[in-house]
Amino acid sequence: VPVTTMPEFDIALGKLEVETPGASIGYRLNDGPWLLYSGSVKVESGDRLTVKAVRYGWQEREAREYLVP
């Protein structure tokens, strides 16, 4: 079973990207609910952004956490 790639986060643009074709990106800010990524994510200094990529039929990779400086 293929494994999704890890999403990358561009803090300056608030942009999430994943190389796995057809994958969706889920994220949550601090301790908030999981959301489906559909546009830029606004973060502030001290925020914690947790992300993961999901594609049906593929194995999920562990979530990655970004701490905003």
Structure confidence by residue, pLDDT tens digits, 20-52: 999 999 999 999 999 999 999 999 999 999 999
Return the pLDDT at 47. Answer: 98
Maximal C-alpha separation, the chain:
38
Exposed, middle or buried, 16 (CB in 10 Å: 0-12/13-18/19+)?
Answer: buried
Residue 61 has pLDDT above 90, yes or no: no
Provide the pLDDT confidence category of residue 5 given band limits of 50, 70 and 90: very high
Q: Give the list of residues 6+ apart from residue 7 with CB closer than 8 angstroms, or none.
A: 16, 17, 18, 25, 27, 37, 51, 52, 53, 64
Q: Is pTM, for the whole model, over 0.85?
A: yes
Report the percent of the chain where pLDDT is more than 90: 97
